Chains A and B, each alone.
Chain A
């Protein structure tokens, strides 16, 4: 009897010790992002795959609205309560670094990648992920956008997919005038845009026309010089503004729209042409516009087709004061592996690798994977700390022109360029 008791005690002690040892090695990595259900599902699947080789590591993620992600991340990094990993688009990761200066340099992790994984990351992906010579994030997704046009509306007005800017103007006018939704009312618009703030108007408006035409940037060149008065950039800018003033092909409310309002217009079935990002496809395959659109490159001023635009490079960054910093740094190496990349493509429509299985992708995602012509945003804010303030100043001129259209657009461009050069000099002086 005494022997049985001893044996029971010994095995209980052994179990406790084993459990304690396991518990001691178990790690939970927390990722903060703003990618909603798609992001949560993607990370959950990545966690399952990662667990096969790292049984003691669990990856969890928390999604929050973008504004909240910014404020919570900055506050957490500054108060040493940071999550282990932050996941977002590169301009936002750069902004976190500009504000906190607490993100790790992940160059060593990049060097530790297998040759196969390393090959997937392009020099442009690296440039977008680097700020002041620090690799802030390991990139693993490219967000791409193209011009979406409603299939049923094109059929109704008897037009093919518009490839040039002239095509766009003609088709958009028909979308407004010929009741393409067939409800008997004149309640449709040609193009969805957003102009409620600087980022909406410049990054998600003029930029698309500029990059779609293979031009370098809507505001500055790679040396930081103002280029809005260069003939091709000026044309893209003026044509964009005329959508509001002369052509009147956007909803009048667009002057106050940010992306949420724009999405309401698209999903409400009131607009014929709109920006489609690869991140939108998952939702728009199932709910309105429910696959009723064709996606292609942005329209060109010359013969088409134009390019699709790589709007951002998403990656994962590790705060220097993360609780599980080493485990987090190991995990960010995994996200470029083939398995993780396939999960990323399947759930969020974006990846870096070209060797993934695309057979199971929906028709909505295929144009992004098969895009032959791509133009990359050059992320001026990552190069020039003053850029966002310059962009704000430019927005004031742009929105003023929408409200009070100038008689001579070319003269307006010249005056605005002069004013921006002064502003840029002043901002550069302030550092």
Chain B
């Protein structure tokens, strides 16, 4: 409660006008190049992409684009491949966010455990290493690992007398494969954020609960995790954005297959781009942008509200 009060700005300060606007001139001068770069390289491409979504593909890049109103959006929304791609992306996002955030909490709690004195750095490094590994290179290795013929995954399973895993050759297992590969790649970052937050927690609360007779599980659920809410909010929102836009792993490992089972929205937009269907491709990108923005904002608002409750 006290931390909230510390950050609250008094109302009279907010309404107070600067005595001399000129006193910030230097500040604005230093900020100006970055503002210009943000507009040029950040906002302008988004705005232009949205503009192209309203043009006929064959004229989209020409000097005189023909505007077709909402035609591209109508065509995309009526496209059954897009519809299934959208639902598939949402399902994947829900599963990936849940798996990554919960696994990261678990790993962070384990890494912060006082019993893990020796080897803590090694474990931290092992978990964080995939985050800094170039994603394309690691996805190619994963693709080989799941190969039906010479991949190590099936080699191990078969040598243990277990049935082989179909990897990326069947729709459901391909979907599961991407979840595994992406969890491996991303969970380290979320773990690190949780771990940093765990180290900043107020230990007296945990000790009080222990004195009151709470066991380890109860302390985790009722004391530790509620204190991690700001980190859960950040990680969930970031993961939502990350997984809604999943692209590279598909591009490298499955190319949307088999049977469109991993044809998520970003990849579908890309295939439209490569087919020179710029209008439809940017319409899909615009829809994805709205979904990402809407879901991320809603998730942030919801988690913030529940944190303040």
Contact = CB atoms under 8 A, between A and B. Distances in A.
Contacts, number: 72
Interface in A51-105: 67, 70-71, 74-75, 78-80, 95, 98-101
Interface of A is mostly: helix
Nearest to A188: B149
B170 interface: yes
A75 B147 CA distance: 38
B20 interface: no
Nearest to A261: B255
A98 B169 contact: no
Nearest to A200: B255
A400 B258 CA distance: 9
A141 B238 CA distance: 52
A253 interface: yes
B170 A403 contact: yes
Contacts of A258: 255
B212 interface: no
Given A252-B166, A255-B169, A99 B58 contact: yes
A127 interface: no
Contacts of A388: 275
A197 B258 CA distance: 10
A253 B255 contact: no
A427 B260 CA distance: 22
A329 interface: no
Contacts of B61: 74-75, 78-79
A264 to B, nearest CB: 10
Contacts of A270: 149
A100 B276 CA distance: 10
A187 interface: yes
B258 A256 contact: yes
Given A78-B62, A79-B61, A100-B58, A255 B149 contact: no
Contact of B148 (A251, A399, A403): A251
B168 interface: yes
A99, A187, A258, A388: most-surrounded residue (chain B CB, <10 A)? A99
Given A70-B276, A403-B259, A187 B63 contact: no
Nearest to B143: A253
B230 interface: no
B274 interface: yes
A402 interface: yes
B148 A252 contact: yes
Given A80-B63, A99-B276, A255 B148 contact: no
B169 A95 contact: no
B276 A78 contact: no
A196 interface: yes
Interface in A230-256: 251-253, 255-256
Given A70-B276, A95-B276, A255 B259 contact: yes
B178 to A, nearest CB: 12
A396 B79 CA distance: 13
Given A67-B274, A99-B57, A399 B260 contact: yes
Interface string B52-66: 000001111111000
Among A95, A101, A255: residue with most chain B CB under 10 A: A255
Contacts of A189: 149
A388 B57 CA distance: 15
A258 B171 CA distance: 17
B6 to A, nearest CB: 52
A196 B169 contact: no
A402 B259 CA distance: 8
A116 B62 CA distance: 40
B149 A251 contact: yes
A353 B150 CA distance: 45
Instruction: Among A98, A253, A400, find the residue whose CB has the most chain B CB atoms closer than 10 A.
Output: A253
B254 interface: yes
Given A98-B58, A100-B62, 14 more contacts: A71-B274, A74-B276, A78-B62, A80-B63, A95-B276, A196-B257, A252-B149, A253-B167, A255-B258, A256-B174, A256-B254, A258-B255, A396-B81, A403-B258
Interface of B: 57-63, 81, 147-150, 166-171, 174, 253-255, 257-260, 271, 273-276
18 contacts: A70-B276, A74-B61, A74-B276, A75-B61, A78-B59, A78-B62, A79-B62, A100-B62, A187-B150, A251-B148, A252-B166, A253-B147, A256-B174, A256-B257, A256-B258, A258-B255, A399-B259, A403-B259
